Structure 1
Amino acid sequence: MTSLVEIKNVSKVIKGKKIIDSLSFNVEAGEVFGFLGPNGAGKTTTIRMIVGLISMSEGDIFICKESVRKNFEKAVQHVGAIVENPEMYKFLSGYQNLIHYARMTKGITKEKIMEVVELVGLKDRIHDKVRTYSLGMRQRLGLAQSLLHDPKVLILDEPTNGLDPAGIREIRDHLRMLARERNMAVIVSSHLLSEMEMMCDRIGIIQNGQLVDVQLVKDFVHTKEKMYEIEVDNADLAAEIMSKSVPEVKVAITEKGIEAALAREELPAIIKQMAVSDVQIYGVKEISQTLEDRFLEVTSAQGGE
């Protein structure tokens, strides 16, 4: 795999406070990388440093091997980005907006503009005034704008903000297609966990300006330990037995019995011990763990709120 974005020990200090603390990660060609964290964690600050809207205090960022710190223009020419909401001239048509942006870069033809318009699915409405567009259509027009110069890296900050479910799905499908078919590196920041799970190949979790973890989404969600619900008649006794059998496990008492995260091989001995102790067991069920569950698990383990 080729790393198109390399972030190396990047920090940002504002008014004496370290907003970003020694951040390091790579983003590969052909992948959608999710930058995940609660509001205020440092996602937008990091994206602003990648695209050069604010400077780094320490470290460096390389885009297609070019240093943002030393060769900003060369580095950023490989990037298409929407930071927060795409701003358009609402009194112009979508096409006129794209013509306007195309003038900022040499060599963008009208054929290229229409190719990008078709790519984002706006062909039927591109000559309508932007003020008549839905929020989802404006997001797609912003996506078209960021793709005009054939960037190798696409960066979108909260791209599904304010969209309805159909709009969210459209944007998600477009991003996955761009990464797959154009071998682009796509970086998406969000606090919407369900979206990241469906959209991304890998996720990096940021909290309080520090990188907590970077993992493949499937590895992150599907850990060795699974959450099990055991339906019993005596939850207190069942919890006591489990705590003695596996001391490091957190046991939660529920309406039906108990819940705990266990390795599969630990389960038979615990069930056997409960049966011997006259705990009536009515059922054992594996509970599917979502990205949200894992996110809260990881961030709370790191001292999050």
Structure 2
Amino acid sequence: MEKVIEIVSLTKKYKNGRGIEDICLDIYQGDIFGFLGPNGAGKTTAMKIMTGLIRPDRGDVRIFGHSITEAYELAMAEVGCVIEIADSYPFLTAYENLKQQARYYPGIDNRRIDEVLELTGMLKYKKEKPKKFSLGMKQRLGLAAAILSRPKVLILDEPLNGLDVEGMIDVRNMIKHMAEQERTTFFISSHLIHDVELTCNQIGVIYNGKMLNVDTTENILKNYATLENYFVSEVEQNGRV
């Protein structure tokens, strides 16, 4: 199996003592990796480094073998991402927003724009403007923009935030479909244990900026019955030191 993301000794400390310390991870093609941890555990910090938004104090991230710190454009060439809030132009329609984005990528035609709107359940709102959208609809539009260029890797920070039950199911199905059919690799952060359990096939627990453990969802459920039991057990053993 091809190694797609390699995270080596990733460290970033803020003045308040928060941040991440010595995170190491390997993620392979077609994996849906769940980065699970409470708010403030360091998930967004790690993902901002992975997408080049902030620089690490030390360590590196390689995507398809390219270093994010030394060869940023090569590393990010096949990556789509949504970090924190999905941004859009409030006075353009959903369709026009994606049309605008399509200019950055060769070979994205109007049919592809309709296709990603359909995939994210936004086709019926294509002529509406995001300034009137709920948080969940903005999130769906952000996901549509992230998958527009058919990236091989998607880095999604809390992608189910603000979605209603129907939205969560839609997005979960979309993620699974892309991983199975297109061999897209996902790196997804969440503090929603149930969603990670239902969506991801690999799970890493982060707590107070440190990786506690990485295992397959299958193993975890076999040994602990639920992801919640596993999370509590990991934190009890390793986290509160």
Q: Which residue of 1 aligns with 2:19?
A: 19
SS in 2 for 1:33: strand
Q: What's the counterpart of residue 155 of structure 2?
A: 155
C-alpha spacing 1:16/1:169, structure 2 compared with 1 (3 Å): closer
Larger Rg over CA atoms? 1
For residues 67-216 of structure 1, the aligned pairs below 5 Å read 67-216=67-216
What is the alpha-carbon distance in structure 2 between the residues aligned to residue 298 and residue 68 of structure 1?
30
| Candidates 292, 295, 298, aligned match of 2:228 | 292
Per the TM alignment, residue 298 of structure 1 is displaced from its structure 2 partner at its CA by 0.9
Which residue identity lines up with residue 68 of structure 1 in the other structure? I
> Is the 8 Å Cα contact of residues 155 and 188 (structure 1) preserved in structure 2?
yes
TM-score w.r.t. length of structure 2: 0.93
Cα drift, residue 86 of structure 1 = 0.6
Instruction: State the AA in 2 paired with 1:48.
Output: K
Q: What secondary structure sits across from 2:33 in the alignment?
A: strand
Q: Which amino acid aligns with 1:15?
A: K
Q: What is the correspondence of 1:264-279 to structure 2 with a 5 Å cutoff? A: none
Secondary structure of 1:104's aligned partner: coil
Q: What letter is aligned with 2:230? A: R
Name stretches of at least 5 consecutive residues in structure 1 with no aligned partner.
227-288
Q: How many residues align?
A: 241
Q: SS state of the match for residue 13, structure 2?
A: strand
* Aligned-partner SS, 2:39: coil
Instruction: Please give the alpha-carbon distance, in whole angstroms, between the structure 1 residues aligned to 2:204 and 2:98.
Output: 32
Query: Which residue number corresponds to residue 256 of structure 1?
Result: none
Q: Do the aligned partners of 1:4 and 1:152 also contact (CA within 8 Å) in 2?
A: no
Q: CA RMSD in A?
A: 1.8
The amino acid across from 1:146 in the alignment is A
Q: Per-residue deviation at 1:45?
A: 0.2
Structure 1 segments of 4+ aligned residues over 4 angstroms from their partners: none
Tell me, in whole angstroms, the C-alpha distance in 1 between the residues paired with 2:19 and 2:159.
Answer: 23
Question: 1:130, CA displacement in angstroms?
Answer: 2.2
CA distance, structure 2, for counterparts of residue 57 and residue 303 of structure 1? 23
Counterpart contact for 2:207–2:239, Cα < 8 Å: no
Q: How many angstroms does 1:191 deviate by?
A: 0.6
- The residue number in structure 2 matching 1:236 is none
Q: Distance in 2 between matches of 1:134 and 1:41?
A: 27
Distance 1:161 1:18 in 2: 23
Q: Which one-letter code corresponds to 2:179 in the other structure? A: A
Q: Aligned partners of 2:122 and 2:17: how far apart in 1?
A: 44
What is the TM-score normalised by the length of structure 1? 0.74
Please name the residue that 2:45 is paired with: 45
| CA shift for structure 1 position 62 | 0.7
Amino acid corresponding to residue 293 of structure 1 in structure 2: N
User: Which of 1 and 2 has higher RCO (CA within 8 Å, sep 6+)?
Assistant: 2
Q: Hey, what's the Cα distance between the residues in 2 that align with 1:76 and 1:19? A: 23
Identity %: 39
Deviation of the 1:218 alpha carbon? 1.7
1:304 aligns with 2:207: no
Gaps of 5+ in 2: none
2: distance between equivalents of 1:37 and 1:174? 23
Q: Secondary structure at 1:162's aligned position in 2?
A: coil
Q: Tell me how far apart the structure 2 counterparts of residues 93 and 62 of structure 1 sit (CA, whole Å).
A: 36
Cα gap change, 1:17/1:135 in structure 2, threshold over 3 Å: closer, same or farther?
closer
Q: Do the aligned partners of residues 11 and 18 (structure 1) sit closer, same or farther apart at CA in structure 2, a change above 3 Å counting?
A: farther
